[in-house]
Amino acid sequence: MNDLYNMIKPFLNQTILSKYKFGFAGEVYIEADRFEEEYNQNLPILEKYFSLKKPFYCNRNYTYYSTDLNETTDLVKNIAFDAPIILNLELSYDNKRYIIFSLTEYMLSCIAKLVGVIFSYTSLDVNYYKALKEYLIDLTDYITQIIFDEELNQFPPLSFDLIDSIISDMKDLNISDVREYSEMDNILIMFITYFALCDYIGEHDIIISPLQGAALIPPFFISMQKYTNSMNRCCGLAGYEYVRFSKYDNNHYCELSLIDQVHLLSAQYPESTNILLIDDNTGTATTIKSIKQELLKYFKNISTCALEYYWEGKIFNADYPAFQLDEIDLITPLCYRYFKILEEHLKFLKNKEDINFRYDLVEFSKINMIYDKIDYSLYINNNCIEASTKTRIFSVYERIKDVMEMLSKTNS
C-alpha cells in the first residue's frame, strides 16, 4: 500500500476548518461582532440561511432541516440565485468565505434530500439520478476548494428548469416530503476521516453508501481525493453509487428491494470492481453486513467502513449486540453522537428565537473519541486476534490523532 497520507499531510496546513467553530451537529458558528454589520446590511439574503445564537451567528436554521418538498426546492432556487450575488458583494473576505461555505453546505443537504427521493422511484431515477449525482460532485469539489482557501470562483450552476421538472414529476407521484437531513453532514468529521482513511480509499474503484445517512460521504471523499491527488499525480476513484436499505429505519419508501438494487449495480460494474462500502455510523453493524452479503453475490472485492461507532454500547454495556472488530475492515475511534442527544441539539438549532448559546466554548469543534474514555490500544490488543485487522485499526487510530493534533496546532 502506498503511503499517500504522508504525501498529502502538507494539505492539512492549508485548511480553513481549524478557523471555524464546529458544533455538535456539524453546524459552524461565527462571532456576532465579526458578522453583525455585514449581516444586517444584507439581511434579505442572509436571514434565509443563518440564525442568531448569541453571542454567535450559526450557519443552520430551521430551513436547513425542513422536510417539506416545496421549502426544500425553494431553498435550492434561492441558493442558486443568491450565491452569485454574495460573491459580487463588497464583504470582508472571511465573512464572504463563511457565507459561501455555508450556502454550499445548504445546497449539498438539499440536493442529497432530493437524491434520496429520486433514487426510490424508478421513473424519477431514470430521469434525474445521474444529473443530481454529478451535481453533488460539483458541490463537493467547490466546498473542497473553499476548505483549502482557494479563490472563491463561480458557484456551481444549476438549471432551474431541471428543478421545476423534478418538482412537477414528484407532485405527480404525490410526493410532498423529503428526509430531514443526512446524518453525516459534518464536514469536519468527513475531512478528518478522509485523511485517516486516504491510503485505503485509494485502493478502491467505487464507493457505495446507504441512503440517507451516508449520502454526502462518497462525493466529498471523491472530491478530497481529486484535490489532493492533483498534486501527487495519483489515480482516483471511478465513482460512487447508493443503495437504499436499513435494518432500523423503514420510514422511507423505495420501489426496489436491496436484491434488485444490487442486481442493477452488477450490470454496471464488473465482478472484479474494488468496492468500498461506507456507512455514516454503526452500532451492531447489521445494516452494513446485510448490504455486503448481497453485494458478494456479484462482486469479489468489498471492504467495509463506518465513520462513527457506538463504542459505548460495545464496551460499557455487555448486553448490547454491538459490532465485532473483525466484521468491519476500517474502524475509527470516533464515538456515536446520535439519537437523543442530537435530537435535543437540533431543537436548539431549529429554534427561531434569539436565545443565548447554552454550551461552554470548550465544546466547540470537540469530536468524541473512545480513546478519551478507555485505553484504546490495550483494548484493541486484547480483543483483536487477526493481525491485519489490528494493523488497520491502529493505522486509522494513529492518523486520526495526528490530524486532530495538527488541526489543533493550526488553530492555536
- Given a cut of 50, the residues of the chain with pLDDT beneath it are 1
3-class SS of residue 309? strand
Coil/strand/helix, residue 307: strand
| Region for residue 239 given its phi and psi (left: phi exceeds 0; alpha: psi -120 to 50; beta: otherwise) | left
Predicted pLDDT of residue 306: 97
pLDDT in tens, 17-50: 999 999 989 999 999 998 999 999 999 999 999 9
Residue with cell 443552520: 60
- The predicted structure's pLDDT at residue 1: 45
Cα angle, residue 29 at apex, residues 23 and 33 outer, rounded to 5°: 150
pLDDT at 190: 97
- For the chain, what are the domain ranges? 22-186+205-310+337-368
Which three three-digit cell numbers place residue 352?
427561531
Residue type, 102: S
- pLDDT for res 230: 73
The whole-angstrom separation of Cα 271 and Cα 274 is 9
* 274-282 β-sheet, strand order: 239-244, 206-211, 274-282, 301-309
Cis peptide before 157 (omega within 30 of 0): no
* CA dihedral sign of residues 400, 275, 206, 136: negative
Instruction: Tell me the three cell numbers of residue 404.
Output: 486532530
